[in-house]
Structure 1
């Protein structure tokens, strides 16, 4: 009998639990496709067997009034704190008090004169909750609930509890720690001092996407579904605690063109509701009842393979013109090369606002080095708005010209048309995937769109060679596979300067008035801009 059947057949909290599974009869009972107040396993619309159970009543689980130390930082953790605060007001017999722990603000802005604090700091202040600030647990002894000591002055402030009877019980300590998007490891010394240990909401279907960036990697891996997990805090490792509750399979759908912020908003609500349900059902009360991990199902990706979700770094934001780094991941790029849709997805995952982690509302962007035309100075360009689009006819014509001349190997004098359209030029990018290899250069044609602000660059425009003649495949052709084969960039920031419309920002890097004879002698990134399909 699979563990999942046992879980779905078991009622929790105050009813019964099977002690044995003597035999199984014909499946007749249907179970819901979402978790419900009385059951907490991952369930699907499959039928569950009718089980002949030898059962005995078990005493209901009960919890002491919870004195919670909530640890978090960002918008994802704000949803959970808001839900806990509402639960505290609605059911004070379940939650006696909530204190909040955040990491100290960091200096930011010009001259580093401003202290930037995260969203959870502001929310805790608005809710008038006791607010502690620590960047390490080393040397810190947990205070009593409602007592906040200033790290600089050593002065302790006592927050009065709405219930005077609670204020008069100073000997009661925290009995549960909840960490949601906190970023600091909670040591065993702290967890062992809490009656109910620690809980965590993780925005993935653990053990899939363990790590600090599960939302970003769900998008990068082109997952179709994801979810949330309520787990215990492990004494030695991140994201390896006992799974107490989890989004039912196949999970939460990820709509096409989702951004990190879109998915974060959805999962923040999912996780907050899950946390409330877990506390109401006393899942934190020993003995704990871990769920089995979910199976590897095709609904999470094709093929689905459990992956880690490491921190997003500057390298992940660099456009890999050579495909030497991105192309190594055959699960993301089966052909070893990325497409326009892949680049746009990467922007939505890690380049948009909040995509690389943190709480900034300004896009991080994807970046690349490029060379100015007047004198070859290399500068970093940050693309702040990227989307996949069909390649415009004028740009497809330029790609066809480049491919024809490069395949023919001539001087370009007989090429038709003899020059690029007036709104098409080149930009030369530099890329060095590894410090041990020399920098490579990639010349890419681009076109300024009619509105005069956005630019479009071709990405692996399909072409075929028929009887020695190069034919660029139209986007509606079956050989194009329905893929967008260009990306539109609306804004670009030259490092050290303000963000501008893409056409204006790229002017110093724009090779204009390109003729066919120029194409013959210039090196182009043909493997980036074109793809042979015959």
Structure 2
């Protein structure tokens, strides 16, 4: 059962027109803020203000708030929020202390882009893709003090992941889905809070903030599907990377493929082996299994971007009798 702090009871209206303080920083959060602003504009919310953090350039949340005349508070807050009924946190990235949570009679809710407890942390969408998940979703949960993603679940809705879905597509889908579910939850306050349930103790996984190091392909450890899933999960963020000699190579237009037509005894391919396929004008790279990916474009350190044909002509032509390999050296 959700307990409302007694000292705030007098400020809760009976008509359900709530005062909302929104915490967010990025494009994922922007979808939810836009939906809340539409609720405010149509008088379904009485008050809407924003908390965000930035250094230097203003983020999209602050830009949107200023454009719409929404009051913005800088994080960290100098004082506890006053006269708000609920706090909404979407892709904020900062732990919220107990005193701020307790400033809201209904507490604080978080819109999280996974089916918690799977993929707690900063990068749930990326991890769902690179791990080949077939399903993800949105969880609306209560915020707990000084902890990320452990609070009780209010609402959870599932979304299937297409085998070829890429990060930008899934990101937009989940951002819009999260915004729609959030508005539905706001409209069902406060009764919906009483239906909260603890997260499962099993199936807990973590999705920490990623760096470019995750883009390195480990040919001898990863199947073609693993490599393709990594490509899908990082698309638009980091290109896949490998080594050719002492040069770092970035891989683009990556696809899974069946057994190469060219060459014999492909089932004996060593991971990292590179062929050029004339029919598809692509580099064919052997992965664990063996299995294979195709690569249409590359960028090699110190060189202009090149097609697979350009790479073949520049770096494979004089060595056609030798075997060419991409390596998994640590970046």
Specify the TM-score bucket, using the shorter chain as the normaliser: 0.7 to 0.9
Partner of 1:126: 67
2:165 paired residue number? 258
Kept in 1: contact 2:112–2:139 (CA 8 A): yes
Q: Secondary structure at the match of 1:397?
A: coil
**Partner SS, residue 318 of structure 2:** coil
Aligned to 1:384: 252
- CA–CA distance in 2 between the matches of 1:500 and 1:101? 45
**Distance in 2 separating the partners of 1:498 and 1:78:** 36
Q: Secondary structure of the equivalent of 1:179?
A: strand
| 2:241 counterpart residue number | 367
Residue among 236, 256, 270 paired with 1:353? 236
Following the alignment from structure 1 to structure 2, what is the Cα–Cα distance between the partners of residues 499 and 72?
Answer: 37
| CA gap 1:369/1:294 in 2 versus in 1, 3 angstroms | same
Match of 2:196 in 1: 290
Say whether the 8 Å CA contact 2:123–2:208 is kept in structure 1. yes
Matches of 1:71 and 1:253 in 2, distance apart? 28
Residue of 307, 330, 337 corresponding to 2:205: 307
> Is contact 1:391-1:461 (8 Å) kept?
no
The answer to whether the Cα contact below 8 Å between 2:90 and 2:112 also exists between their aligned partners in 1 is yes
The CA deviation string for residues 379-413 of structure 1, in whole angstroms up to 9 with x for no partner, is 2212133111234422x43747x76xx9xxxxxxx
Say which one has the larger Rg: 1
Give the superposition deviation at 1:237: 0.7
**Corresponding residue for residue 375 of structure 1:** none
Q: Give the number of the structure whose residues are more often helix, by fraction.
A: 2
1:491 lines up with 2:292 in the alignment: no
- Written as runs of structure 1 = structure 2, the 5 A alignment for 1:451-462 is 452=281, 454-460=282-288
Q: What is the SS of the residue equivalent to 2:195?
A: coil
Distance apart, 1:81 and its partner CA: 1.0
**Native 8 Å contact 2:35 2:183 kept in 1:** yes
Equivalent-residue separation in structure 2 for 1:291 and 1:498 (angstroms): 55
Give the conservation status (yes or no) of the 8 Å contact 1:448–1:503: no
Q: 1:142 to 1:284 in 2, by over 3 A?
A: farther
1:478-518 CA distance string (max 9 Å, x none): xxxxxxx3212222223466544344357654363432xx4
Structure 1 alignment gaps of length 5 or more? 1-60, 107-114, 144-171, 297-304, 324-337, 355-363, 372-377, 407-441, 463-484, 527-534
For these two proteins, the number of residue pairs brought into alignment is: 315
Aligned to 1:320: 218
SS in 2 for 1:381: strand
Matched with 2:20 is 68
In structure 2, relative to structure 1, the CA distance for the partners of 1:460 and 1:194 (3 Å cut) is closer
SS of 1:212's equivalent?
coil
Label 1:271 to 1:294 Cα distance change in 2 as closer, same or farther (>3 A).
farther
Query: 2 CA distance for matches of 1:498 and 1:142?
Result: 53
Structure 1 residues 223 and 379, CA, compared in 2 at 3 Å: closer, same or farther? Answer: same
Q: How far does residue 191 in structure 1 lie from its aligned partner after superposition?
A: 1.6
CA distance in 1, matches of 2:317, 2:16: 71
Aligned residue for 1:82, secondary structure, equals helix
TM-superposed CA distance for 1:236, in Å, is 2.4
Question: Counterpart of 1:84 in 2: which secondary structure?
Answer: helix
Secondary structure of 1:345's partner?
Answer: helix
Whether the 8 Å contact between 1:230 and 1:243 is mirrored in structure 2 is yes
Shift of 1:292: 4.8
Following superposition, the deviation at residue 222 of structure 1 comes to 1.9
C-alpha distance in 2 between matches for 1:491 and 1:201: 37
State the Cα distance separating 1:126 from its structure 2 match: 3.5
Counterpart among 272, 277, 283 of residue 184 in structure 2: 277
Aligned position for 1:55: none
Q: TM-score, normalised on structure 1? A: 0.53
The Cα offsets for residues 72-104 of structure 1, whole Å up to 9 and x where unpaired, read as 1222212111111111122x2x41121222221
| Structure 2 unaligned spans of 5+ | 1-12
Q: Equivalent residue for 1:445?
A: 274
Q: Distance in 2 between matches of 1:461 and 1:173?
A: 60
Change over 3 Å in CA distance of 1:223–1:285 after alignment to 2: closer
Matched, 1:209 2:119: yes
- List per-residue Cα deviations over 1:446-470 (Å, max 9, x = no partner): 2054575x422233575xxxxxxxx
* Residues 488 and 284 (structure 1), Cα distance of their counterparts in 2 relative to 1, 3 Å cut: farther
Secondary structure in structure 1 of the residue aligned to 2:264:
helix
Q: Which one has more relative contact order, counting CA pairs under 8 Å at least 6 apart?
A: 2
Kept in 2, the 8 Å contact 1:234–1:241? The answer is yes
